[in-house]
Amino acid sequence: MKIECDRCGYLIDRDKYLNGQLVEEYMNIYGTRCPKCGFFIKSLKKPFVDEEKELQMEILRNKMKEKLRKTYKEKNKCP
């Protein structure tokens, strides 16, 4: 993967080649710093760890919503 710095235009190639063939492609998951100017280049996609955290937060939100709905219904019941 070739990454271009937005600030200085420096082209970064972090792929690994062996005997002229691409062995491992670099994935910019967490972001990269430009070696020339030090500018932080953000990743194009979210890290896998963040996706897991977001999914877990969504599950916890849904559980809390259900608990609040139950308590609200119990409090507002007519005698």
Domain-by-domain residue ranges, the chain?
1-45, 46-79
* pLDDT tens, position by position, 23-67: 877 778 888 899 899 999 888 776 666 778 888 999 999 999 999
A 10 A CB-CB count for 29 gives: 14
pLDDT for 65 equals 93
Q: pLDDT band at 79, cuts 50/70/90? A: low
Q: Which of 40, 20, 21, 38 shows the shortest CA–CA distance to 30?
A: 40
pLDDT for 43 equals 83
Cβ burial, residue 4 (10 Å; 0-12/13-18/19+):
exposed
